[in-house]
């Protein structure tokens, strides 16, 4: 698995553009908040370390992961960020609900990226167990929120160059 080969929080700061003039929107699911709160903190703190100003990082919460799609689009319209980060966590249960939510959010973020003019960063953990999610939210595999913040900065810079 990829996270066993590379830590989600591992990046070379020298390879990341300066984020001091960039604006970001971070949308966070409240479902599995013990995980998503850590993802949010990871993304926010990494954006700050990369030069983003606190006043240029808008954070909002939505009830669940499926709602990330709508909120990401609305944040893009209202905040006018250079990139939007969506953070959520879906843990497999005993019903097919997991499959529908994961597929829907994946397709929704794909559609936003295809139709939009800013990058929408997909930060949805899709795990079999809560422990796997915690391992990817600041645990032994790092923090997916960190990775999403780095990706957002790089893609925002790509957008302005190309």
DSSP string across the chain:
-HHHHS-TT---GGGS---TT--EEEEEESTTHHHHHHHHHHHHHHHHHTT--GGGEEEEEESSSTTHHHHHHHHHHHH--SEEEEEEEEE--SSTHHHHHHHHHHHHHHHHHHH-SS-EEEEEEEESSHHHHHHTEEETTEEHHHHHHHHHHHHHHHHHH-
Where in the sequence numbering do the catalytic residues fall? Answer: 97
The pLDDT value given to residue 1: 43
Would you say 23 and 75 are in contact if contact means Cβ atoms under 8 Å apart? no
Q: For 19, left (φ over 0), alpha (ψ -120 to 50), or beta?
A: alpha
The pLDDT value given to residue 12: 81
The pLDDT value given to residue 23: 97
Domain ranges within the chain, ordered by starting residue: 41-128+137-161
CATH node for 41-128+137-161:
3.40.50.960
Would you say 135 and 62 are in contact if contact means Cβ atoms under 8 Å apart? no
The pLDDT value given to residue 13: 81
Q: Which residue has the tokens 């999403």?
A: 148
Backbone angles phi and psi of 122, in degrees to 5: -90, 105
The pLDDT value given to residue 10: 79
The pLDDT value given to residue 35: 97
Per-residue pLDDT of 124-158, as tens digits, reads 999 999 999 999 999 999 999 999 999 999 999 99
* Local confidence pLDDT in tens for the 162 residues of the chain: 455 667 778 788 888 889 999 999 999 999 999 999 999 999 999 999 999 999 999 999 999 999 999 999 999 999 999 999 999 999 998 888 888 999 999 999 999 999 989 999 999 999 999 999 999 999 999 999 999 999 999 999 998 775
């Amino acid at each position: 698995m990829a996270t066993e080969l590379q830590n989600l929080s591992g990046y070379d700061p020298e390879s990341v553009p300066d984020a001091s003039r960039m604006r970001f929107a971070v949308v966070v699911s409240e479902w599995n908040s013990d995980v998503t709160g850590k993802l949010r903190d990871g993304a926010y703190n990494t954006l700050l370390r990369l030069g983003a100003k606190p006043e240029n990082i808008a954070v909002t919460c939505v009830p669940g992961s499926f709602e990330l799609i709508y909120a990401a689009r609305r944040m893009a319209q209202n905040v006018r960020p250079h990139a939007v980060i969506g953070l959520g966590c879906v843990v497999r249960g005993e019903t097919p609900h997991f499959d529908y939510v994961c597929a829907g959010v994946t397709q929704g973020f794909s559609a936003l990226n295809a139709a939009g003019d800013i990058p929408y960063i997909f930060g949805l953990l899709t795990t079999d167990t809560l422990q796997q999610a915690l391992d990817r939210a600041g645990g032994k595999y790092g923090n997916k929120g960190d990775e999403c913040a780095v990706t957002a900065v790089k893609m925002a810079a790509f957008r302005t160059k190309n």
